[in-house]
Amino acid sequence: MSAAENKVFNHITGKEEVVPDFTRPVDVREFCFSQFGACGCTDLVPLLEVVRDFLKWADNTDRTPDDYWDSLFGGHTGIYYIVAGMLDNAGLLEHGSSLRFPWLTPTGKNLLVALQSSPLEAFEQATGTSYNGDYFEPEVDRNHERDEAEDEA
């Protein structure tokens, strides 16, 4: 795969950037921030569940022409198109004449492998420097700090 096939537009920086192969959890976390608008208060596990399930569905070659939203999102067509559009825009899907019949890009396949290989909590808790240089610190358990302060009082 050439580097040109593995680039996406970062909606935060406004620049095109090379996407990693998602072998490091911190890179999956950063991708959620740069492509899906996640931030420090986002609960990544449900976000990643939606992404994983959609990518898994798109990778299934046994789907029928009628099975493009019924098995996802309770049959809500609008949610299907919002999610499909975001995944397509993030470089994870491609489609021909209709977004109803997408397939995975190499980047989408790499992300699906990562999401199926590790607990989703591992991505939410990932720390370190990501592929684009952003650093994620360990999360501070604010509830634990509050409990300790109440115990001291």
9 part of a folded domain? no
Range of the domain at 145: 22-152
Q: What is the pLDDT of residues 59-95, one digit of tens each?
A: 987 877 666 667 788 878 899 999 999 999 999 999 9
DSSP 31-65: HHHHHH---TT--HHHHHHHHHHHHHHHH-TT--T
Judge whether 84 lies within some domain. yes
- pLDDT reported for residue 63: 75
101 falls within a domain: yes
- Does some domain include residue 29? yes
Does residue 6 lie in a domain region?
Answer: no
Count of domains in the chain? 1
**What is the C-alpha separation between 152 and 137, in angstroms, rounded?**
27
Question: Does the predicted TM-score (pTM) go above 0.75?
Answer: yes
Residue 78 lies in a domain: yes
Q: Is residue 5 part of a domain?
A: no
